[in-house]
């Protein structure tokens, strides 16, 4: 499984990847992006199975990134990992094509549950 | 509207364990006066109207050890930072992310929404806003945080009367 983690914080990318490994994805191949634009380039080149993206990022934010992936018709499961999770954000995320939104602070179980549901649906 | 809630030891231990991937010991400790000369990292948490709702004052030890543990940086590097009273850019960035996630502790329970504001480094003076919070807070909770394999320090959470 190929997983792309997009976040402008290197520390948070490390934290997300560590949690994914603890959640049972230790055999996955991980790639990283610092913003949505870099993420979109990476999606086109590497064709990941799963994208986990922050919401607030420079250049292209997470919502624009998700919308661009959907507009390109790329078949990938997209989920957000965000500091905030308001009802408005969840609604915007869903409209853009995201399958889930995990709010910080999170646990490996939160990843495991959200990804299982998204991939299973 | 209620003041910002403050975290409890169990919540801190669980969240830091998730962020750092390390076992933690977190104990409630009696709030002692903060030495103005001590090397601390301070963070303000701002309400949506721009006013300060809460603050964190962390010993440099907590920032150095947590920042190092997060990226598996050797203990010696963290100890050197404590000795020098300065964090490397990577340790500071890592601890900034911990402070960012900590905003979740101050939210909920009917309190106004807050997000991370200004973070000061251990070499600098605490922001005036944080000094004001320390001088005139509504509630305060102090914890001794021990990062397994690294060391311990004190992490202080303060809320402002709404």
A18 touches chain B (CB under 8 A): yes
pLDDT in tens, A31-72: 999 999 999 999 999 999 999 999 999 999 999 999 999 999
Per-residue confidence (pLDDT) for residue A82, from 0 to 100: 92
Contact B104 A15 (CB under 8 A): no
What average pLDDT score do residues B29-49 get? 89
Please write the tens of the pLDDT for every residue from B127-148. Answer: 677 888 888 889 999 999 999 9
Q: Which residues pair with B156 in a beta bridge?
A: B57, B142
Q: What is the pLDDT of residue A60?
A: 96
Can you give the pLDDT at residue B90?
A: 92
The pLDDT assigned to A80 comes to: 96
Confidence of residue A114 (pLDDT cuts 50, 70, 90): very high
> Which of B10, B23, B104 is the best residue to mutate to test the A interface, defined by the most A CB atoms within 10 Å of its own CB?
B104
pLDDT score at B126? 67
| pLDDT surpassing 60 at residue A121 | no
Provide the 3-class DSSP secondary structure of residue A57: coil
ipTM for this model: 0.79
Element spanning A36, H or E: helix A36-46
The encoded tokens of residue B92 equal 């500071």
Bridge-based pairing of strands B114-120 and B40-47 is antiparallel
- Specify the residue for token string 């005139």: B136
pTM for the full predicted model:
0.87
Chain A residue with Cα closest to B21: A18
Mean pLDDT, residues A92-117:
91
Question: Chain A: nearest CA to B126, how far in angstroms?
Answer: 24
Q: Say whether residue B94 is in contact with chain A using an 8 A CB cutoff.
A: yes
Condensed to tens digits (0 to 9), the pLDDT of residues B92-127 reads: 999 999 999 999 999 988 899 999 999 998 876 666
Residue A113: Cβ within 10 Å count: 14
């Amino acid at each position: 499984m190929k997983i792309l983690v997009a976040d402008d914080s290197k520390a948070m990318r490390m934290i997300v990847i560590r949690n994914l490994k603890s959640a049972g994805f230790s055999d996955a191949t991980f790639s990283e992006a610092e913003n949505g634009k870099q993420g979109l380039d990476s999606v086109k080149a590497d064709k990941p199975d799963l994208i986990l993206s922050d919401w607030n990022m420079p250049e292209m934010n997470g919502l624009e990134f998700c919308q661009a992936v959907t507009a390109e018709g790329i078949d990938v499961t997209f989920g957000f990992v965000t500091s905030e999770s308001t009802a408005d954000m969840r609604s915007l995320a869903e409209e853009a094509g995201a399958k889930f939104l995990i709010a910080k602070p999170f646990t490996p179980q939160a990843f495991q549950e959200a990804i299982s549901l998204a991939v299973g649906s | 509207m209620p003041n910002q809630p403050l975290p409890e030891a169990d919540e801190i231990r669980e969240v830091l364990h998730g962020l750092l991937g390390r076992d933690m010991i977190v104990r409630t400790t009696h709030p002692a006066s903060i030495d103005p000369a001590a090397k601390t990292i301070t963070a303000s948490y701002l309400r949506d109207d721009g006013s300060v709702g809460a603050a964190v004052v962390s010993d440099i030890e907590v920032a150095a050890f947590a920042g190092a543990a997060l990226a598996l940086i050797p203990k010696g590097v963290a100890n050197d930072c404590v000795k020098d009273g300065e964090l490397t850019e990577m340790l500071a960035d890592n601890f900034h992310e911990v402070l960012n996630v900590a905003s979740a502790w101050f939210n909920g329970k009917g309190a106004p929404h807050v997000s991370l504001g200004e973070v000061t480094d251990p070499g600098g003076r605490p922001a005036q806003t944080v000094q004001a919070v320390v001088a005139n807070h509504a509630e305060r909770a102090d914890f001794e945080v021990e990062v397994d394999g690294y060391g311990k320090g004190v992490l202080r959470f303060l809320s402002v009367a709404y």
